Amino acid sequence: MYQFRTIAAVMLFFVCLLTGCSSSLTMSLVFSVETGDQIKVTVDCSEGLKLKQTSNGFAVTKGENDVIQAFFVGEAMYQQYLDAVAAQEGVTVNQESSENGITYLSYSYEGEAGTENNFIVWIDGASTGVVAGSLSDLETATKVFHCISFSKE
């Protein structure tokens, strides 16, 4: 009887271990930002993406390359970025949308380092926005952006 319980316990342990591995395809960081908010950033890692903290925000990487770099802003700075996009010549607005707890504007323009594909985000229920930039092509930047989720903790 003891041997049966031991085998059952070991099997249960391995089932739990394997279940835990298959469900951990996300990576999250919680940031205490200047607005006073606690913002959780989560990345779906199923496509080989990783989330890392940077000196002024975070980056989403694939392999050794930063695909998106981002930083947090308050409401006034968020509005300044929106106003700058509206006023700047040569900007292409790709998409404006509200979904998954955020409102965002996606835009592209030719910068000094090449075509920048950027996102200006407002997190619902927070006093915090995010400005994210990418030098990757628009399809890649957009795909990676949609692997990121934000929430106020």
Which pLDDT belongs to residue 10?
A: 41
Locate the DSSP E strands across the chain. 26-32, 38-44, 49-54, 57-62, 65-73, 92-99, 102-111, 114-123, 129-134, 148-152
DSSP 7: H
* Residues 28 and 53 sit within 8 Å (Cβ to Cβ): no
Q: What is the pTM of this model?
A: 0.83
Residue ranges for the chain with pLDDT beneath 50: 1-2, 4, 6-22
* Residues 130 and 149 sit within 8 Å (Cβ to Cβ): no
The label of the residue with tokens 């002024």 reads: 56
| 96-124 pLDDT, tens digit each | 999 999 999 999 999 899 999 999 999 99
Which pLDDT belongs to residue 111?
A: 86
Which pLDDT belongs to residue 22?
A: 43
Listing DSSP states for 25-55 in one string gives -EEEEEEE-TTS-EEEEEEE-TTSEEEEEET
What gap in Å lies between CA 40 and CA 4, rounded to an integer?
A: 44
The label of the residue with tokens 């392999």 reads: 63
Cα radius of gyration rounded to whole Å, the chain: 20
